[in-house]
Amino acid sequence: MVRDREATKAKLLDAALAEFATHGIAGARVDRIAAKAGCNKAMIYAYFGSKEDLLDEVLKIQITRLIEAVPITPDDLPGYAARLFDTYQQQPELLSLLGYHRLENGFEAVNKAEADAHAEKVAAIAEAQRAGRLPSDFDAEELLSLVVHMSILAFSTPVANRDLVVRSVAKLLA
């Protein structure tokens, strides 16, 4: 029987996303990942090296997908926050995965894809501020953090929704 390496890796990555989002790295089990993917757990080590390396790959893929699906729009930060909110609603495992990663590795722990994307977003906001298209009440780093966290905060309160996120970010910029 011929194995399809890429299909097997994709199944493992999908299973790992669900496992890490549910249990974090400490609680995740390679046996469950392999079983859900319909593979031998040795394939995880063959393709990814370790459980930690598998998590890093899952994070890299998910962050890259998020960046591509929701590009920064400095001239429409309320819309950007709304699109983030929508994406998190459609893919709640992403917030869970990122939350577990930060809890288990420290809040400063970010992978290269996330760090690079963050730097680009801060630069885009700073440019819009220099051009006078965004207020300078907060520096670009602070403003990005506020916008992103408003899109996430909506998941921690029962009264939050997309409209609240949009109105909050708009008020922040007013």
The three-class DSSP label of residue 63 is helix
In a domain, residue 62? The reply is no
DSSP H stretches of helix in 38-76: 42-48, 51-69
Total of domains in the chain: 2
Q: What is the pLDDT of residues 139-152, one digit of tens each?
A: 999 999 999 999 98
Range of the domain at 5: 1-55
Q: Are residues 45 and 94 in the same domain?
A: no
Q: Are residues 100 and 161 in the same domain?
A: yes
| pLDDT at 97 (0 to 100) | 86
| pLDDT at 167 (0 to 100) | 94
Q: What is the pLDDT of residues 58-117, one digit of tens each?
A: 988 998 898 889 999 999 999 999 999 999 888 888 888 888 888 887 777 777 778 888
Q: Are residues 20 and 84 in the same domain?
A: no
Identify the burial level of 170 via C-beta atoms within 10 angstroms of its C-beta, where 0-12 means exposed, 13-18 middle and 19 or more buried: middle
d(CA 144, CA 161): 19
Q: Are residues 49 and 133 in the same domain?
A: no
Q: Are residues 38 and 13 in the same domain?
A: yes
List Cα–Cα distances, 120 to 50, 116, 125, 129, in angstroms.
30, 6, 9, 14
In a domain, residue 147? The reply is yes
Q: Are residues 81 and 107 in the same domain?
A: yes
User: Is residue 1 pLDDT above 50, yes or no?
Assistant: no
User: Is residue 51 pLDDT above 80, yes or no?
Assistant: yes
Q: Are residues 113 and 159 in the same domain?
A: yes
In a domain, residue 83? The reply is yes
**CB environment 155-165: b (16+ within 10 A), e (fewer):** eeeeebeeeeb
In a domain, residue 130? The reply is yes
Identify the CATH number of the domain in which residue 36 sits.
1.10.10.60
Q: Are residues 27 and 80 in the same domain?
A: no
Q: Are residues 160 and 88 in the same domain?
A: yes
Q: Are residues 115 and 171 in the same domain?
A: yes
In a domain, residue 7? The reply is yes
User: Is residue 168 pLDDT above 70, yes or no?
Assistant: yes
